[in-house]
A and B are shown apart, each in its own frame.
Chain A
């Protein structure tokens, strides 16, 4: 028990400095999203990033945090995420009840960029705590402490959200979404996507082009049994495997097909598509 408490102390000290991004994260702009983001940041308007998984939302946020030289606090949301996970809670440390800020409060205090990834995964009641932060008030009420945190001008809130999920349980409430300016992401154009795969992995241009072609084919299957086509991230995975000497077909199966579906017929069809280009 003793050691656990020490860990807690260490944890509190540790996470303050982890948030700063030192080197430029590679990001290939697709359209006007960089300018749009900068304008939103300057106007203190929160941003909602929409788009399918693995198309570069998280990377974009990292890149922008680096560009704006702000620390980045990322929270990956899950269905057990409660409001106090975000805001903070009392812990018992050495005989005392000690308040520990949650990531959101930490970001507000330090004027960071707070990125709530896949916000729809969080419980509905959790999203409500961000409402006062996301409009002109820009405050975070911490009821348990009786404290009202006012966000400094540098603070920025970003949500990401994938509208492709068909589940009725995973829709963003209007009261939430209408507080944000939205930037829509999609898979990059083929030439750009090939360049991304090439830059990320160092694979040759011809193979990158084929991978992109393969991805486009799986995206044609969206709605015919696939919820999503292959994302750029999956292509990067496949290219990484190939760079390490895995042959093209098994790399596509491992990195792409199996990641997309469990349905044996669908898997067979995707593997056949890979065989059409490799």
Chain B
């Protein structure tokens, strides 16, 4: 199994432009190629499908190109053999069409499709070489949604309105909470233009939610027409014109963006645009106009327009309305109670609420018995969302009686499985993962869940402290010696106070005709240890038994020592079961003090599943980076290599991903350090952590005492 490693290394050589000495070598013969391909593609070959034809295709290529094809075939086949097969079958043609860098991009994109959609669409992507070529020609520089999603999400959030999530999909549309957009846009040659189109799509669909395109039931309206699809297409177009006009009132720049991307309006539609410029134009106006236009020939849709899915949007809107009405009722009941308590004299009945609102600005004024009240942020958010759904705040929403029956209902449980937007809604966080074979990240590959660790035996920590009492006292003394203290620096040029000794001396010097010193001040200097350390504890199944016991003891001793030292520290455990369920357990956050609850959670540290380290490092580094400290340390306690169940994380892939995560952490100013008890650690730890950033403790029994000692050395 040495071959993939060598192969990928040679790939990296040839791809990094150091291939000149390779090119001089003679090409492999068809026979040799077939042997190698047999090896790589073994799982995709059968008695009816041999590597001979492929080898024949590759044989005429130069040796450098052959090496290139073989190494990337290895990468592709590593995901699934069939992809390798498809790739090699297409490779000669791809090289001719796209050149070497283009071929690499083409394959990487197919691998991305494989990650997201599976084998069949990935093979289809590989086969559609001509389509890809056309796309990438026009594209020059396409834009991937993943690369711009954050900018666009922030942008939309800034525009006001309900928070919208973006998700890649084949069809472009919105259900009023998620906007589905193409995963990649390569319509124009320049990146800039493609981004503008993305922005236009996002803005157009944001406007549908913001200005209520789905605020009336469209199903029956459309059903009235002989061809509902045609009516829908016309409605989509009329709405696009309305939304653009509507935006033009407040967001001149947005309207200009959309107008620049669409073709000139046909003469029949120009007056429509004018009619929509009114402040209160709504989807109902579009529905009215639909009657007029239905039978006219349909113009070309605008490039940023997607489809309308009135039924699906109505469903999401309906669920939201029910949910928000309940929530508002609960919040307003609270608000009423508060207002009533605040009343000067006893008034009859509950305060009557009233509201003025504007869809244009999403502003509203809430009044109780005629006086303005400032609602809590939660209420304000609900009201803003409600204004978007109704164009105003319906009066019955503010009645004290409220939807009593609703309030009693439990909120509906969301379904958890789904795309990234839903994952985030379920509380998981998505992280990229490094694929060393592709030398690129797999986007949003891991789903991470953070939760509080379960508490264990409350008496455990006390028992450990009793057992190590002597050593703990010793540790504390040594750590106390490191503690920063206020120090007076004497004879300074400037400072907090006069250094009277120096002043008197200077005075005397002057009297006796000697030039006096100018250093007459004392300065109070605090040599602060401004350190924050994150302990990342391996809770994988392999720590079971003795090792886990030592880990827990090590944690107790570390806590005791750090309490003496005063450094800020946090402890998190990590484990996981495949990329879809990476777990982080909070044992002690930076804000927690070392109290009963924390001690209980330390006692509860126990072996769980696997060691997917990269995602844990990325997550914890993120937490650590929020702490204000001069020095930030990520301190890992581990018992072995990164490993995970089933999906190929074990071995080089996991090591390289972990290494990449550590590089990212280091780039953000974190010092990673690792204490391990794995005897093989010398083989991989220097590669992951760098030469001086790890310690191997060969006897697990030594872990408790040595770990604290290692930390002391590290920070003094």
Contacts and interface: CB of A to CB of B under 8 A. Distances in A.
B498 A221 contact: no
A98 B9 CA distance: 74
A11 interface: no
Interface stretch (B150-158, B389-397, B676-684): B150-158
A275 interface: yes
Interface in A224-278: 224-225, 265-266, 268-270, 272-278
A213 B247 CA distance: 13
A217 B158 contact: yes
Contact of B503 (A82, A97, A269): A97
Task: Specify which of A90, A213, A269 lies most central, judged by the most chain B CB atoms within 10 Å of its CB.
Answer: A269
Contacts of A265: 150-151, 154
A84 B524 CA distance: 12
A131 interface: no
B253 interface: yes
Contacts of B251: 276-277
A91 B496 CA distance: 11
A221 B497 contact: no
B300 interface: no
B252 interface: yes
Interface in A120-149: none
A61 B351 CA distance: 37
B626 to A, nearest CB: 8
Contacts of A274: 253
Contacts of A89: 496-498
Nearest to A278: B253
A276 B154 contact: no
B380 to A, nearest CB: 12
Interface string B491-503: 0000011100001
Nearest to B526: A123
B159 interface: yes
A221 B158 contact: yes
Interface in A163-191: 167-169, 190
A6 interface: no
B496 A218 contact: no
B199 interface: yes
B591 interface: yes
A68 to B, nearest CB: 29
B524 A82 contact: yes
Given A92-B520, A95-B507, A269-B151, A82 B158 contact: no
Given A82-B496, A95-B507, A221-B157, A272 B151 contact: yes
Contact of A268 (B151, B253, B497): B151
Interface of B is mostly: helix
Interface residues of B, number: 30
A220 interface: yes
A28 to B, nearest CB: 19
Interface string A90-132: 1110010100000000000000000000000000000000000
Interface in B497-526: 497-498, 503, 506-507, 510, 518, 520, 524
Contacts of B253: 274-278
Contacts of B159: 217, 220, 273, 276
Interface residues of A, number: 34
A1 interface: yes
A91 B503 CA distance: 10
B507 A220 contact: no
A269, A272, A274: residue with the most chain B Cβ atoms closer than 10 Å:
A272
A84 B497 CA distance: 8
Interface string B229-273: 000000000000000000000111110010000000000000000
A216 interface: yes
B151 A1 contact: no
Nearest to A275: B253
A276 to B, nearest CB: 4
Interface in B185-207: 199, 203
Contacts of B524: 82
B628 interface: yes
A213 B250 CA distance: 8
Contacts of B199: 272
A184 to B, nearest CB: 11
Contacts of A225: 154
B239 to A, nearest CB: 20
Contacts of B155: 269, 272-273
Contacts of B497: 84, 89-90
Given A84-B496, A90-B498, A278-B253, A218 B158 contact: yes
A167 B254 contact: no
A203 B253 CA distance: 20
Contacts of B160: 216-217, 220
A168 B591 contact: yes
Contacts of B254: 276
A169 B518 contact: no
Interface string B584-621: 00000001000000000000000000000000000000
Interface in B518-536: 518, 520, 524
Contact of A273 (B158, B252, B257, B498): B158
A151 B257 CA distance: 62
Contacts of B498: 89-92, 97
Contacts of A213: 250
Interface in B348-395: 361
Nearest to A84: B496
A97 B500 CA distance: 10
Contacts of A92: 498, 503, 506, 520
B518 A1 contact: yes
Contacts of A218: 158
B496 to A, nearest CB: 5
A217 to B, nearest CB: 4
B591 A220 contact: no
A218 B157 CA distance: 9
A132 B361 CA distance: 48
**Most chain A beta carbons < 10 A, residue from B199, B253, B503:** B253
A185 B203 CA distance: 33
A90 B499 CA distance: 10
B252 A266 contact: no
Contacts of A169: 628
Given A1-B518, A213-B250, A277-B252, A269 B496 contact: no
A213 B199 CA distance: 19
A269 B158 contact: yes
Nearest to A219: B158
A224 B157 CA distance: 9
Which has the most chain B C-beta neighbours within 10 Å: A82, A273, A278?
Answer: A273
Contacts of A277: 250-253
B162 to A, nearest CB: 11
B199 to A, nearest CB: 7
Contacts of B151: 265, 268-269, 272
A126 to B, nearest CB: 11
Contacts of A266: 154
Contact of A275 (B150, B157, B257, B510): B257
Nearest to A144: B497
A71 to B, nearest CB: 27
Interface of B: 150-152, 154-155, 157-160, 199, 203, 250-254, 257, 361, 496-498, 503, 506-507, 510, 518, 520, 524, 591, 628
Given A92-B498, A217-B160, A273-B158, 15 more contacts: A82-B496, A82-B524, A89-B496, A90-B497, A91-B498, A97-B503, A190-B361, A213-B250, A217-B158, A265-B151, A269-B152, A269-B154, A270-B158, A272-B155, A277-B252
7 contacts: A89-B497, A89-B498, A220-B157, A220-B158, A224-B154, A269-B158, A276-B253
Interface of A: 1, 82, 84, 89-92, 95, 97, 167-169, 190, 210, 213, 216-218, 220-221, 224-225, 265-266, 268-270, 272-278
